[in-house]
Amino acid sequence: MSPPGARGRHEVVVRLAGGEAERDAHFRVRHAVFVEEQGIFTGTDRDEHDDDALHAVALAGPLVVGAVRLRPLDEPGLWQGDRLAVLPEARRLRAGAPLVRFAVRTAAERGGALMVAEVQVPNVAFFLHLGWERVGEPHEHRRIAHQRMRIPLAVADQERAAGP
Ligand SMILES: CC(C)(COP(=O)(O)OP(=O)(O)OC[C@H]1O[C@@H](n2cnc3c(N)ncnc32)[C@H](O)[C@@H]1OP(=O)(O)O)[C@@H](O)C(=O)NCCC(=O)NCCS
């Protein structure tokens, strides 16, 4: 099947991975991006948090083209989003932004008050565009410059109440 965007455009649907096939596809996207493309991880990017985190997928038609992971941290109300990835051939087709919005909305719906993420510096503008703010200065994580960012989930709630 041709990559999404090569012929025609599918509307992107984001949802929690439903069943084993979508969960596997979620991990395949992460592997393609973080192990093969970026080389941030060797072998696998899966870790102990995958045992209880929520795994979301972005679908363009029948194809899973994106992934994000989210989980509550120990501090009450605090959620972390990570492993945001869109396959290279599906970038800029508006899969990334809905994945981030879905993670934020899902955390808010589950009682979260604040979501944080360690964002690769070249993506800071993307997150600012989506209403996130910087926390502190950039730092190195896995040999790559990252910026801690956050978004208050009450804001996400208000936006949801205000409609699309
Ligand atoms: C970051 C990433 C998820 C963005 O996904 P995407 O599907 O390309 O993003 P979208 O198409 O939804 O982009 C939404 C908007 O942000 C813009 N945008 C996307 N990436 C951007 C970036 N790095 N900097 C600035 N703007 C960006 C798009 O142009 C678009 O703008 P528009 O709404 O005005 O058209 C994707 O590039 C990716 O997977 N990168 C590799 C892995 C990675 O870096 N993960 C994040 C770790 S923090």
Burial of 160 (0-12, 13-18, 19+ CB in 10 A): middle
pLDDT in tens, the chain (164 residues): 444 444 456 789 999 999 999 999 999 999 999 999 999 999 999 999 999 999 999 999 999 999 999 999 999 999 999 999 999 999 989 999 999 999 999 999 999 999 999 999 999 999 999 999 999 999 998 889 999 999 999 755 555 555 54
pTM, rounded to two decimals: 0.91
Residue ranges covered by each domain of the chain: 12-161
Name residue, tokens 């991006």: 33
Domain spanning 12-161: which superfamily? Answer: Gcn5-related N-acetyltransferase (GNAT) (3.40.630.30)
Mutate to test the pocket of ligand 1, among 86, 89, 101, 128 (most ligand atoms within 8 A of CB): 86
Bridge partners (DSSP) of residue 55 are 69
Give the length of the chain. Answer: 164
Q: How far is the CA of 100 from the centre of ligand 1 (A)?
A: 10
